[in-house]
Structure 1
Amino acid sequence: MLSEVLLVSAPGKVILHGEHAVVHGKVALAVALNLRTFLRLQPHSNGKVDLNLPNIGIQRAWDVAKLQMLDTSFLKQGDVTALTPEQMEKLKEVAGFPEDCADHEHLAVLSFLYLYLSICQSQRWTEESLELINKWAFQGERVIHGNPSGVDNAVSTWGGALRYQQGKISSLKRPPALKILLTNTKVPRSTKALVAGVRSRLLKFPEIVAPLLTSIDAISLECERLLGEMAAAPAPEHYLVLEELIDMNQHHLNALGVGHASLDRLCQVTMAHGLHSKLTGAGGGGCGITLLRPDLEQPEVEAMKQALTSCGFDCWETSIGAPGVSVHMAASLDPPVRQALDGL
């Protein structure tokens, strides 16, 4: 039983290189961002489990006693196992959702309920470990995304930078703290549809698309080598090569059919300020990243951010290589973070 407030956080992540090619066995490089999601667990005496997800406007509550009376034998408490389609349907019944619910809000609640019923009602608590956190986070991802790669949960658990290829994940040692601008075009897209589109294009034009995927793989490997050099002794020429890799990969991703007019606009705006951008993730809208060189003056960054905001985009300055999942004391948090959490 939780006796005091527990505050934990985990970093967000972006793909540096390897989007879509990773689906076809190539290397992808993923990095943790210094943009974090915070979770506050607080004991209550009202006999309820309250869920508050302010960023997506969700507030739900369940009676603990009623949850305990439910038949949850379909879940193997304490074991990190994937939900079958039949178990997912039963979980929807527990949540009180219709069978055809598929939007992100419903899926977020289902993921929470699954983790709560599987972990919190278990009597087999052992000392928490990063491996256990990663396994449970992966299962939560499966509730929402169906068949995730495992990259997102691994990067958020361990932080830093990871190399992913054909299910094998390994850490990059001491990645340099590159500064980037993360831009959300706010254009929704379907990852599943975009992945299917690349596969269709590969089947239609194998002699054209296969070399593109091989070239993206080479870009990931070159970036990995370069980051290793920069960890020891970063030099201005390293940033010039990183910018070249960003441009080449963005062109390749457009050739694969996963670009979007909003991402083209992002690249045009940042290039007008002498900076280089690419999509990150599925493409088709979504987010892009811009490398911020260390010699860049802050007024230049602010001018570019203003130009992007004028396009209707959201922007965040951040850096890569953030620490993984962490437990916080209130005194260790920045004042704005403390204020935001106090308002929850």
Structure 2
Amino acid sequence: MRVTASAPAKVILFGEHFVVYGEPALVMAVERRAYVSTEPRADGKIYIRAENVGASGYYSGEDLGTFEAETGGAEARRRLEPIKVVIEEARRLSGKNLGLNVTVESAIPVAAGLGSSAAVAVATAASAGRVLDLNLSKDEIYRMAYEAEKVIHGTPSGIDPAISTYGGTLMYRRGEGVQPLALKVELPLVIGNTGLSRSTGNLVAGVRRLKEKYPSLVEPILKIGGKITAEAVKALETGNLETLGNLMNINHGLLSAVGVSSLPLERLVYAARMAGA
């Protein structure tokens, strides 16, 4: 039996990076998806082919501790490890050491801030869970994907696997879970991609270093970011897009202040503002 599952990408409208420190974030699923297909294999090995990161290989042994790269060279194991973590947990929950072929195909750009790794992890949990006869709840899928995200990002906020699991538009606060939001208006949204890859883990670490060096300056910025998110939720709930746009401009200024921007991004923002954003 071959089972294919998919999960959406995301865009964080407000609260990016501030959410790591317990502030609320406003996040929306977007219709770019990761697809994962899983089927049994007879030899007990786990074969993973992830076209989105250009890697494939075999895990074997009782603890899946032996890895043999097929493509992707020395980086293959690191790139496939989050997927293996999800498969490992699914096999543990099922009590079955079944061999599996896992194929990842994704339309989500990698390292572009759209949650590609979380979407792959969520789709992997859903696909493998069905093959292993697990009736996983969305909460269980979220927890499995969150563990995979920890392999990549170290201390993730949890927002990416949350939106990929539950979908829609959510307000998310670390430790408190998700609050679904009902939009009063259709949100006209353009997502700009510079084409430059950035590591979320490195960016989060950079903000943390800045906070540790200048706590009296950075901590108020984080708090203001949380207040902006709360105001943005009100604007969305009332359909006030002008206020929403103004809040986005303020929010971007805060992100720039803590080092979460780049020259290409600033050029995109400037072009958008010149066009009336």
- Which TM-score band (shorter chain)? 0.7 to 0.9
Q: Which has the higher contact order (CA 8 A, sep 6+)?
A: 1
Report the counterpart of residue 34 of structure 1 in structure 2. 31
Q: Which amino acid aligns with 2:77?
A: H
Separation in structure 1 between the aligned mates of residue 257 and residue 276 of structure 2, nearest angstrom: 23
Output the CA distance in 1 between the equivalents of 2:244 and 2:79.
Answer: 36
Residue 206 (structure 2) aligns with: 197
Q: Match of 1:152?
A: 160
Deviations 1:124-172 (A, max 9, x none): 7442321221121112222222222221111111101222224211222
C-alpha distance in structure 1 between counterparts of 2:199 and 2:141, whole Å: 27
Partner in structure 2 of residue 330 of structure 1: none
Q: Against the structure 1 CA distance between its residues 257 and 118, is the aligned structure 2 distance closer, same or farther, given a 3 Å change threshold? A: closer
Deviation track 1:291-316 (CA, whole Å, cap 9, x = no partner) reads xxxxxxxxxxxxxxxxxxxxxxxxxx
Hey, what's the Cα distance between the residues in 2 that align with 1:102 and 1:252?
38
Q: How many angstroms does 1:96 deviate by? A: 4.5
The answer to whether the 8 A contact 1:18-1:220 is kept is yes
SS in 1 for 2:155: coil
Identity of aligned residues (%): 32
Secondary structure in 2 matching 1:215: helix
Question: For residue 52 of structure 2, what is the amino acid of its counterpart?
Answer: N
| Range moving further from structure 2, 51-60 or 249-258 | 51-60
Aligned-pair CA distance for 1:224: 1.1
- How many residue pairs get aligned? The number is 236
- Counterpart CA distance in 1 for 2:244 and 2:203 is 26
Matches within 5 A, 1:119-134: 119-120=90-91, 122-123=94-95, 125-134=133-142
TM-fit CA distance, 1:273: 2.2
The equivalent residue for 2:5 is 8
Q: Is residue 62 of structure 2 the alignment partner of residue 71 of structure 1?
A: yes
Output one character per residue of 1:186-240: Cα deviation in whole Å (capped at 9) or x when no partner.
323343443343334334444433332222111100011122223xxxxxxx111
CA drift at 1:265: 1.0
Aligned to 2:243: 241
Whether the 8 Å contact between 1:107 and 1:143 is mirrored in structure 2 is no
Query: Distance in 2 between the 1:36 and 1:241 partners?
Result: 30
Task: Report what 1:228 is aligned to.
Answer: 237
Check if 1:108 corresponds to 2:79: yes
1:273-312 to structure 2, matched below 5 A, reads: 273-275=275-277
Change in Cα spacing, 1:120 to 1:250, as seen in structure 2 (3 Å) is same
Q: What is the alpha-carbon root mean square deviation over aligned residues?
A: 2.8
- The amino acid of 1:264's aligned partner reads E
TM-score for the superposition, normalised by structure 2: 0.73
Contiguous gaps of at least 5 residues in structure 1? 73-90, 231-237, 276-344
Whether contact under 8 Å (1:149, 1:167) holds in the other structure is: no
Is contact 1:162-1:169 (8 Å) kept?
Answer: no
TM-score normalised by L of structure 1: 0.60
Deviation string 1:27-86 (CA, Å, 9 cap, x unpaired) is 212221111111223456788654222222223346xxxx3xx232xxxxxxxxxxxxxx
What is the rounded CA distance, in whole Å, between the counterparts of 1:195 and 1:270 in structure 2? 26
**Could you say what secondary structure the match of 1:184 adopts?**
coil
Give me the whole-angstrom Cα distance separating, in 1, the residues matched to 2:16 and 2:36: 29
Q: Structure 1 residues 192 and 139, CA, compared in 2 at 3 Å: closer, same or farther?
A: closer
Distance in 2 separating the partners of 1:45 and 1:190? 37
SS in 1 for 2:197: coil
Q: From the superposition, tell whether residues 193 and 58 of structure 1 become closer, same or farther in structure 2 (CA, over 3 Å).
A: closer
Change (3 A) 1:211 1:128: closer
Larger-gyration structure (1/2): 1
The answer as to whether partners of 2:9 and 2:30 remain within 8 angstroms in 1 is yes
Alignment correspondent of 1:24: 21
Alignment partner of 1:53 is 2:50: yes
The equivalent residue for 1:314 is none
Q: 1:20 to 1:128 in 2, by over 3 A?
A: closer
The corresponding residue for 1:188 is 197
